[in-house]
Amino acid sequence: MNEQTYIDLYGQYAETLKNNAAPALNAARDMFFERFCRSGFPTRRTESYRHTDFGDVFAVDYGLNLNRLAFPVNPYEVFHCDVPGIQSYMYFVVNDMFYSDARTAAQQLPAGVIIGSLKQVSEERPELVEPYLSRLAERKDDPFVAFNGAFAQDGFFMYVPAGVTLDRPVQLVNIMRSDADLMANSHNLIVLEEGASAKLLVCDHAMGGARFCSTRTTEVFLGAHANYEHYKLESTSENMCNICSLLVQQQAGSNLLANIITLHNGITRNTVQIDLDGEDCDTMLCGMTVGGRHQLIDNTTAIMHNRPGCRSNELFKYILEENSMGVFNGLLKVAPDAQKTAAYQTNRNILLSPTARIRTKPQLEIYADDVKCSHGATTGQLDESALFYMRQRGISEQEARLLLMFAFVHDVIENIRVDVLKERIRLLVEKRLRGEGSKCDSCSFCK
Amino acid sequence: MKTMMLEIRNLHAAINGKEILKGVNLTVNAGEVHAIMGPNGAGKSTLSSVLTGHPAFTVTEGSVTFNGKNLLDMPPEVRAREGIFLSFQYPVEIPGVSMVNFMRAAVNEHRKHNNLPPLSASDFLRLMREKKELVEMDNKLTNRSVNEGFSGGEKKRNEIFQMAMLEPKLSILDETDSGLDIDALRIVANGVNKLKTPDNASIVITHYQRLLDYIVPDFVHILYDGRIVKTGTKELALELEEKGYDWIKQETV
Ligand SMILES: Nc1ncnc2c1ncn2[C@@H]1O[C@H](COP(=O)(O)OP(=O)(O)OP(=O)(O)O)[C@@H](O)[C@H]1O
Ligand SMILES: [Mg+2]
């Protein structure tokens, strides 16, 4: 399989695709398809994909669910939340289908808040969707954003009206579940109007032994002084290729925290772009990874200081064992008139085996003169003198290593502002570092 | 009747192929305090590293017996659990590892080694409080990461706090006095004295006779160029203070 397969598929099934899709997604579909025809899938020669090879991923003959047939999976039955006790509003996307039943619908949201299937909302309330949908995706020149734009038919939608605070975190659980190799493409849209505030936890899971490929584009629009927290926790499997694009636009005075945690996966690409399009915005973008076996985790981020007086802080940490590989590309761009920008970027990595690899590329493009910017990237091993110090106090070497690894990612975990979630992720990270449960324990299939 | 605790015989040790210890002999009995003095680079810290099992050093010859067991066979953590404690000359900062978690892990490993159940959270905190008082350690310090941002003196005090928590049989204090102000020196020395019992012993490495006014040694050894070249009582420290190391150099040549 290669791009031609998908190009032919589109040629043949464009009507089916469109007939079963959120109407608003069809508006730009042909444009994205043309873009994809030009770019194809990224290769090692594609800028920003230099180190992440998708060759094997697209050699697989995945099924696609263009006819939108429901999957015989009840997520409430098969899914055991990784974060019990979080008290969230919970939503599921099974493969690429937004799942809804009486339980989903019974959740009492604060007045004016709308959460549901993008397709459904796009049909019923197009005025909430159309002004936003694809606006950020259009601006992003990326082969997978283009591919997703051509093929995605539905996704998750969240709208929080001006001044409204969502009292509980919202949880979006993406479950890949199929007996045959499957591709899922979904497109999420999140809109927070002026002064609104919300927290979203996205959990990615994969069940069963089939091979999966997903592309998920999430567009987030933050109105002036909106507050938004976006957590992404991936616990999938080595059979999974997970391509996520998170595109955020911030208006004046808005506040974003995005924290991307990858614990179990196959090949993961997180493309993040944050456009600071208003003055006086705050952005904290962080993430961590624990990689083993042949896991590959690529976080490619861009923070665009387009307006003056914004503050951004970026922090990514990787712990890599065995044959795993990490990629970090961090673009920080400060436009000519974005004076008084404060932007910091840190990438720290620990390699625990001689065959683990990290490719890190900070990229600062600063066109304003009155700015405070810094970046730093370090790669090393665990501190031997600290290890000895701990062992001298009677702590076993293994435990000492664990404490040091845990300490290493401590500041990323501190950037979780939901207490139960922080506690839970602490536990999940600890389990992962102990090498326990190389699969997630969230679903009945892995138990 | 004295019980022999530590017996070092003809100990040779090297780092990166360079021999640093060149035949150390030393016997420490329960209840004793031994001071080791000697010029910079003589091998004092090397001796403490070798006794605690630092992986960078290789023992090339000799033996070390601790309470009847071959110490050199044990990994560092087992030596620690058997009761050897080193107050480091340069304590290590461990950002992100809290003092509380660190101490809890250490205490419980010691207890497990002695077939004791882990301490309950409240018992552990009580123990922390009690031992903090002993060395008059500030709460602020135990709420931080291990040694992170501690001043030189605070780090040394923290070493003695940890010693108090772990109640070792043999403590090796490597220049614990350096960096301490006069009051801190007295507090730390008092702490050490209070922890002294007829069943434990200490090796006190120092450059200054002053510490030995507080922690009174039964023996003073001079380590010079990888060997103990002279052993005496606490008067030897005074003599050394007066005459300097040239005197030893002349005697040993
Ligand atoms: N990693 C190393 N590689 C080479 N030589 C080393 C290494 N570590 C220590 N040494 C050498 O071993 C010798 C003994 O060092 P040691 O630290 O034991 O001295 P010391 O007696 O404790 O001195 P001080 O009083 O200054 O603390 C010194 O000459 C030192 O340079
Ligand atoms: Mg020394």
Domains of chain B with CATH codes: 4-252 (3.40.50.300)
In contact, B202 and B192? CB cutoff 8 Å: yes
- Torsion B171-B176-B177-B180 (CA) sign: negative
Q: What is the DSSP letter of A29?
A: H
Cβ pair A152, A212 in contact under 8 A: no
Phi, psi of A107 (to 5 degrees): -70, 125
Measured between beta carbons, the chain B residues lying within 8 angstroms of A350 are none
For B102, nearest residue in chain A (alpha carbons): A390
Q: What are the CA-CA distances from residue A211 to residues A57, A180, A235, B3 (Å)?
A: 9, 7, 15, 68
Q: Tell me which residue has tokens 């403490």.
A: B48
pLDDT tens, residue by residue, A46-103 = 888 999 888 889 999 999 988 888 888 888 887 776 666 678 899 999 999 999 888 8
The answer, yes or no, to whether ipTM is higher than 0.85 is yes
Give the closest-approach CA distance of A407 to chain B in angstroms: 4
B55 lines ligand 1 (CB under 6 A): no
Q: One digit per residue, pLDDT tens: chain B, 253 residues?
A: 678 999 999 999 999 999 999 999 999 999 999 999 999 999 999 999 999 999 999 999 999 999 999 999 999 999 999 999 999 999 999 999 999 999 999 999 999 999 999 999 999 999 999 999 988 888 888 889 999 999 999 999 999 999 999 999 999 999 999 888 888 899 889 988 999 999 999 999 999 888 999 999 999 999 999 999 999 999 998 888 888 888 877 776 5
Beta strands in A10-151 (DSSP E): 89-94, 97-99, 114-117
Q: What is the Cα–Cα distance from A247 to A258, expressed in whole angstroms?
A: 11
Q: Do A410 and B96 make contact, defined as CB atoms within 8 angstroms?
A: yes
**In the predicted model, what is the mean pLDDT of chain A?**
93
Predicted pLDDT at B246: 83
| Percent of chain A with pLDDT strictly greater than 70 | 96
pLDDT tens sequence across A215-252: 999 999 999 999 999 999 999 999 999 999 999 999 99
Tokens linked to B108:
């419980």
Task: Write the CB contacts of B36 (distance below 8 Å, at least 6 apart in sequence).
Answer: B44, B47, B203, B204, B205, B206, B220, B221, B222, B223, B228
Q: Determine whether the interchain pair A389/B92 forms a contact, defined as Cβ–Cβ distance below 8 Å.
A: yes
**Residues facing residue A234 across a β-bridge:** A204, A262
Task: Give every CB contact of residue A209 below 8 A, 6+ residues apart in sequence.
Answer: A239
B245 at interface of A, judged by CB pairs closer than 8 A = no
Average pLDDT for residues A177-192, to the nearest whole number? 95
Q: What is the pLDDT of residue A445?
A: 37
- Confidence check: pLDDT of A447 > 90: no
- Kindly give the distance from the C-alpha atom of residue B41 to the centroid of ligand 1, in angstroms, as a whole number: 5
Residue B204: CB within 6 Å of ligand 1? no
**Is the CB of B55 less than 8 angstroms away from the CB of A404?**
no
pLDDT at position B3, please? 87
Residue A19 exposure: Cα atoms within 13 Å on the Cβ side: 7
Q: How many CA within 13 A on the CB side of residue A277?
A: 14
E strand or H helix that includes residue A410? helix A397-414
Q: What is the residue type of A159? A: Y
Q: What is the pLDDT of residue A141?
A: 95
Contacts of B60 (CB under 8 A, 6+ apart): B12, B13, B14, B19
End-to-end CA distance of chain B: 37
Look up tokens 């283009």; give the residue.
A146
| Distance of alpha carbon B100 from alpha carbon B107, whole angstroms | 10
Q: Is the pLDDT of residue A440 over 60?
A: no
Containing B81, the helix (H) or strand (E) segment is helix B76-82
pLDDT at A295 over 50: yes
Does the pTM exceed 0.90? no
Contact call for A389 and B55, based on CB within 8 A = no
Considering only alpha carbons, which residue of chain B is nearest residue A407? B96
pLDDT in tens, A201-220: 999 999 888 999 999 999 99
Q: Are strands B170-174 and B201-205 parallel, antiparallel or unpaired?
A: parallel
Q: What is the pLDDT of residues A364-403, one digit of tens each?
A: 999 999 999 999 999 999 999 999 999 999 999 999 999 9
**Which residue out of B94, B107, B110 would a mutagenesis test of the A interface target, given it has the greatest number of A Cβ atoms within 10 Å?**
B94
DSSP per residue over B95-154, as a string?
EEEEHHHHHHHHHHHHHHHTT-PPPPHHHHHHHHHHHHHHTT--HHHHTSEETTT--HHH
Ligand 1: nearest atom to the Cα of B46: 18
pLDDT at B253: 55
Instruction: Tokens for A116, please give them.
Output: 């549901």
CB contact under 8 A, B96 and A407: yes
> A416 pLDDT exceeds 60?
yes
The answer to whether B167 contacts chain A (CB < 8 Å) is no
* Measured distance CA(A267)–CA(A305) in Å, rounded: 30
Q: Tell whether B85 lies on the interface with A, counting CB pairs under 8 A.
A: yes
Instruction: Give yes or no for residue B13 CB within 6 A of ligand 1.
Output: no
Q: Is B95 in the pocket of ligand 1 (CB under 6 A)?
A: no
Quote the tokens at residue A42: 């990224």
In chain A, domain spans: 3-433
Distance to chain A for B3, nearest Cα, Å: 24
Tell me how far CA of residue A219 lies from CA of A161, A215, A447, B37, in angstroms: 17, 13, 34, 69
**Number of CB atoms found within 10 A of residue A419's CB:** 9
pLDDT given for residue B122 in this prediction: 95
CA angle B181, B145, A324 (to 5 degrees): 140
B41 lines ligand 1 (CB under 6 A): yes
Q: State whether the beta carbon of B158 lies less than 6 angstroms from ligand 1.
A: no
DSSP code of residue B72: G
Helix axes B152-166, B99-113, angle to 10 degrees: 30
- Going by alpha carbons, the residue nearest to atom 30 of ligand 1 is B41
Among protein residues, the one with the nearest Cα to ligand 1's atom 2 is B15
Whether residue B43 has its Cβ less than 6 Å from ligand 1: yes
Query: Would you state the pLDDT for residue B244?
Result: 85
